[in-house]
Amino acid sequence: MTQDESKLVREITQSLYSSLEIEKSLHETLLLLKEYLPLDLVHVFILDTSAHTLRYLAEATVKRGTLIDEGIQLSYEHFNEVRDQAHGDVRVLQSSESPMLKSIHAHFLRHVEKPIYTKKNEFSVMTMGFDIVPPLVGGFGLVTGGGTPYDTHHLAWMKLIRRPLIGAVLNLLHHRDLVCENERLSTEKKQLEHRLGHDPTGRMIGVDSGLKEVNAMVNQVAALDSPVLILGETGTGKELVANAVHQSSRRCHGPMIRVNCGAIAEGLLDSELFGHEKGAFTGATRLKRGYFEQADGGTIFLDEIGELPPAAQVKLLRVLQTLEFNRVGGSWPVSVDVRVVVATNRDLFAMVREKRFREDLWFRLNVFPIRIPPLRDRRQDIAALTRYFVDQKSREMNRDPSPEVKDSEISQLMAYDWPGNIRELQNVIERALILSRGRGLSFENLMWNPDRTPENRLVSPPRADFSSMDEVVKGHIQEALKRSGCKIEGPGGAAELLAMHPSTLRSRMKKFGIGVRKSSGQLSVNSEQ
């Protein structure tokens, strides 16, 4: 090795290790290599051989280095070409001879304000491939204008620095992945710290009773990538159902990013959801990956979707349709592989009629709606929920063992309508644990608390001579069936009389054990319970 060659190897190694920010290292490397080779641009990419995607990570010109980190879906022909180049030794390609180079160049040309080369320019590329971890393959490339194509002399210089280049680039790639992973874990940690009422295993309480239909719908849609719309009153456990969709899907090993759309200031929505480039606005001192990028390969859960302002609704619609978006201040589109689950306690269809929610977004989200019943309609789950929350809150309060919950206390809880649903039940139990001070658990003080309005007090169990709500609803359905001649749907049917959807009516009939039968050629209503 000559003195000049030794100097190049030493200096190229120092420049590549000069910074852990890949765009800065590439810029320093380009300035050094330009003394030895014709060079206009350097770039680094990662090829996923299983998904046929190319992740164009960063590039540098004489002016600056740029972190791009954008995924491109390759055609079968282009994938085979770039795979052959990535797995091989150092090679020289001419744009005029490579359809793959022309295609990728054209893709980026649409998003660059002042490109180095136009569609008419010819350019020469010298590439070097290296293995990362299967199925990922890395690539490092040098680009120069068509006036001075790379030759065997340049190829020899590239082979000389191949080993330090590969080591340094792998180091930079690992650091970049760690940065992305730390951002995602930091977001998930903050969100997990605020989660309430969730079983750590992701188990839903009531899947064999009150949430049986919800669980069946989760199992139907989980394996797909279709958007899911979760509907339900405040406190019914919409986030828990979203978590069940994620955990039952093929994305369960990927991230699940939870976003409360109503808790983000309107001026920060774009930056939070889609990220921003360094210098995009005052205070943007570094590149930030938004929630959609952090959820790449997993699920993003958008809670309170009805709170999104009109401008954000337009951008969300684009992401749902193309799975692409631009960071704030960025000219490069970012592609993501994300499953979108949204939830709301508002009537989105009414908001569409009132022009407060986009109709096209509504249709895009309403592919597979899952409606969670309120707690008053699944009272059979109150006992299990109560015992679960008592155990959970007792552990948080370092109370061991947790107090026993008597059947009489459960009866008191079941007699209440729970307008705040599961969240209110959780809060009532926590308050009872605090007030018990180590004694047995009692809800007597909660029943007669004067600070609680009459309609929110726990009430005594119903008297024997007074019908329960379930009994009234059951009798009303039976009367409607009799008046309609046991006709469930269609004009004059029981569903029309009750102003209900036929499938909802059938579900209620099944719940209360109401059936119809033929007797002496006439239809009649019978109770199966």
SS (H, E, C) 358-401: CHHHHHHHCCCEEECCCHHHCHHHHHHHHHHHHHHHHHHCCCCC
- φ, ψ at 267 (rounded to 5°): -70, -15
Residue 462, preceding peptide bond in cis (omega within 30° of 0): no
Between residues 120 and 205, which one has the greater pLDDT? 205
- C-beta of residue 55 within 8 angstroms of C-beta of residue 82: no
- C-beta of residue 45 within 8 angstroms of C-beta of residue 55: yes
pLDDT band at 19 (very low <50, low <70, confident <90, very high): confident
Taking CA 383 as the corner, what is the angle to CA 382 and CA 384, rounded to the nearest 5 degrees? 95
pLDDT in tens, 178-200: 877 777 777 776 655 444 334 44
For 92, the token pair is 């020289």
pLDDT value at residue 460: 46
Mean pLDDT of 319-345: 90
pLDDT value at residue 359: 93
Mean pLDDT of 341-356: 92
How much is the pTM? 0.57
pLDDT band at 371 (very low <50, low <70, confident <90, very high): very high
- Residue 344 pLDDT > 70: yes
Between residues 55 and 464, which one has the greater pLDDT? 55
- Domains, the chain, in order of start with CATH, read 3-178 (3.30.450.40), 195-371 (3.40.50.300), 377-456 (1.10.8.60), 469-527 (1.10.10.60)
Residues in the chain, how many? Answer: 529
